[in-house]
Structure 1
Amino acid sequence: MRALLRPVVVRELGIVMFRPGAELLPLFYDRVLIDRAPEYMTELPSGELPAARQTLADDDALLGFFDNEKVISAAGGINTLESWLMRQPCGCQWSHSDYHHHELKTARLHNGALKLCWHCDTRLDGHYTEQLVNMVRANVSAWIIDTARISFGFDESHVLTLPELCWWATKLEVVDALPEGMARRALRMPQVVVRSVTRESDATPELPATSIVQEKAKRVLALKVDPETPESFMLRPKRRRWTSEKYTRWVKQQTCACCGQPADDPHHITGLGMGGMATKAHDLFVIPLCRKHHDELHADTVAFENKYGTQPELVLKTLDRSLAIGVLA
């Protein structure tokens, strides 16, 4: 919650007073940050400030990204979008009606959904116009930006930037959905201007920006192979645990091996004789799990493996994916 308030200064007593009203009083139950209002807030009335305007939602160059089915699926899918829409304070989104029913619902259209009252939903059933599609696209754009903002822990006052959106796409492995113009702007590469008449000698070959982003997203870890380590010649070699913060960080950024939701932890496999006393298995033998399924595994390993597969099977799937997309090289 943020507020724009006009102070009353009592210079003689060194006191500053505010009149926030009952709705904004909870803002003062703890310490608050005081700062000067920026210029763009000059004309705003006193009271609670709305959420920051997300300028990326108005960028036509990003329409292909927001409209991509892979991106929508990575953000949680249509069901999550509908839940998000129902939590928004707005009412029926179809304003071209003199009557609105008090009950609201969502109606799916194109790759997204609209928030409508029962009356307007009945009237618009079967309609497919450019105006409705644009409204749906606006909902999807706002939802994806809000999902990315929340995933980074930013509050409503934060305006999501293009590099942050690209990093979110990298985390959720949908960088291949980035439009070329979006990738070029994120990398601060000059936009390509194609003239009607161009000499071949003036053409400068370069990699597409999307390829550069995808290549950088893949380069996480390189493994070395040493077939003649000193320990390999010992009868009873001392065990060395292999660690890699890079790899475990990458595993943590993947989806949960059980439910497909964003993972919270890289689980090191247990109960197979790996690791020494009071130590974990190698960082290579990890599984991406959300907090719920990580707790479920530790609570009852046998029941977990009967339900989702054994730990070695899940590790092999993770390793197969990391090798297939070039994370391990």
Structure 2
Amino acid sequence: MRALLTPEIVPRLGLVLLKPGRELMSLFSGGRVLVETQPQNMARLATGRVPDARQPLAEDKTLEPFFTDERVIRAAGGLPGLEYWLERNISECQYPHSDYHHHERLTMRHPPGSMMLCWHCENKLREQTTELLEGIARRNVINWIIDTALASLRFNRERELSIAELCWWAVYAGVADAIPEDMATQALMLPVEQIPTVYREADIMPTVPATSILRQKASKVETVPEQQPEVLALRADPESPESFMLRPKRRRWENAAYTRWVKSQPCEGCRRPADDPHHIIGHGMGGTATKAHDLFVFPLCRECHDKLHADVAAFEQKHGTQLELAFRFLDRALAIGVIVKA
């Protein structure tokens, strides 16, 4: 969170007073804050919270084939991942042409993605296919993939995603083949060939497609394959030795690969890049001098993690209980193939 504030200077006392307002008070709860001069591009912004960075790539029509490619959607987490993102980021019905909206929200799938609707609008629009609904679904897919790419690259929403960074994310996610020619040309900063109306045969010079250059460079980099391997594979043992004991000694289940993946996901509190895999405290989890099993975790940034441990009740009142957050995160991990059967 960032804010643009107007200071009141008291030179005789050497004090500077700021009035952030209730919405921005949480900005000062984590200790020190960064203070810098107003950048030129914020000169016209109103005093208060600075909105997330505008993403020009979301408005580039030439990139729509990439964003709506099934391989790219699958690499970002699939439609279950999109719906999880919608539930966390969209708080109202996205259908604008209705005089009434029910308080209950749910997602409705529509090619090429999904959208957040109220119960009334979903019941009315179910199984309909229109250009308006397609536009809403496409915009959601594009914003979600940009958000996913920012989180994967350890950036937050305050940063503008460049086309070169989007291409690197595609290479990292194993969908470099989905990058179209125009996108590769812009990312490699190749000159746009001017094609004259009349060509002499002697002037015809074969050119190398930008996508082939990008694939050649990407092949030299160790990337994740298109079908990403599972992070965690589970199996059941119905005849474990402890299951035959009257009072078995508990063993804590640990998996470093899974917790390493968990802390690479967006924070469940603020959606910024996470720093820690938080193990559930209380609710019958863990015990004296021990943590809960590594399966019962969800990602938190350092600031949200400190707030949770400082006041569990306040954190759960604001974001939901730890069990709700862990179950929702576990559901997403299963839905996108991170946890599979052994």
Same fold by TM (over 0.5)? yes
Cα-Cα RMSD = 2.5
Aligned to 2:12: 12
Alpha-carbon distance in structure 1 between the residues aligned to 2:201 and 2:59: 36
Q: Percent identity?
A: 45
How far the C-alpha of 1:48 sits from its partner, in A, is 1.5
Give yes or no for contact 1:181–1:191 (8 Å, CA) kept in 2.
no
SS of the residue corresponding to residue 102 of structure 1 reads: coil
Say if 1:260 and 1:108 are closer, same or farther in 2 by CA, change over 3 A: farther
Give yes or no for contact 1:62–1:182 (8 Å, CA) kept in 2.
yes
Structure 1: gaps spanning 5 or more residues: 221-249, 262-288, 297-306, 309-329
1:163 maps to amino acid = A
Give yes or no for contact 2:150–2:156 (8 Å, CA) kept in 1.
yes
1:80 maps to amino acid = G
1:209 maps onto 2:210 in alignment: yes
Say if 1:290 and 1:190 are closer, same or farther in 2 by CA, change over 3 A: farther
Alpha-carbon distance in structure 2 between the residues aligned to 1:153 and 1:16: 33
2:230 maps to amino acid = C
- Structure-to-structure mapping, 1:88-103, within 5 angstroms: 88-103=89-104
> May I ask how many residue pairs the two structures share in their alignment?
242
Aligned to 2:198: 197
Aligned to 2:230: 258
Give yes or no for contact 1:5–1:46 (8 Å, CA) kept in 2.
yes
Say if 1:40 and 1:252 are closer, same or farther in 2 by CA, change over 3 A: same
Structure 2: gaps spanning 5 or more residues: 234-256, 263-292, 295-340
Aligned to 1:176: 177
Deviations 1:238-294 (A, max 9, x none): xxxxxxxxxxxx377887633599xxxxxxxxxxxxxxxxxxxxxxxxxxx654799
Aligned to 1:270: none
1:148 maps onto 2:120 in alignment: no
Deviations 1:127-148 (A, max 9, x none): 2111211111111010000000
Give yes or no for contact 2:90–2:116 (8 Å, CA) kept in 1.
no
Deviations 1:54-103 (A, max 9, x none): 11100111001001000000000000000101111441111111100001
SS of the residue corresponding to residue 114 of structure 1 reads: strand
TM-score, structure 1 length as denominator?
0.68
Alpha-carbon distance in structure 1 between the residues aligned to 2:39 and 2:176: 35
Alpha-carbon distance in structure 1 between the residues aligned to 2:225 and 2:68: 23
Give yes or no for contact 1:64–1:179 (8 Å, CA) kept in 2.
yes
The higher relative CO (CA closer than 8 Å, separation ≥ 6) is in: 2
Give yes or no for contact 2:83–2:107 (8 Å, CA) kept in 1.
yes
TM-score, structure 2 length as denominator?
0.65
SS of the residue corresponding to residue 48 of structure 1 reads: strand
Say if 1:132 and 1:52 are closer, same or farther in 2 by CA, change over 3 A: same
Aligned to 1:48: 49
1:7 maps to amino acid = P
Say if 1:4 and 1:152 are closer, same or farther in 2 by CA, change over 3 A: same
Give yes or no for contact 1:171–1:254 (8 Å, CA) kept in 2.
no
Q: Who wins on radius of gyration, i.e. which is larger?
A: 1
Aligned to 1:164: 165
Alpha-carbon distance in structure 2 between the residues aligned to 1:129 and 1:293: 39
SS of the residue corresponding to residue 91 of structure 1 reads: coil
Alpha-carbon distance in structure 2 between the residues aligned to 1:31 and 1:204: 60
Aligned to 2:2: 2
SS of the residue corresponding to residue 58 of structure 2 reads: helix
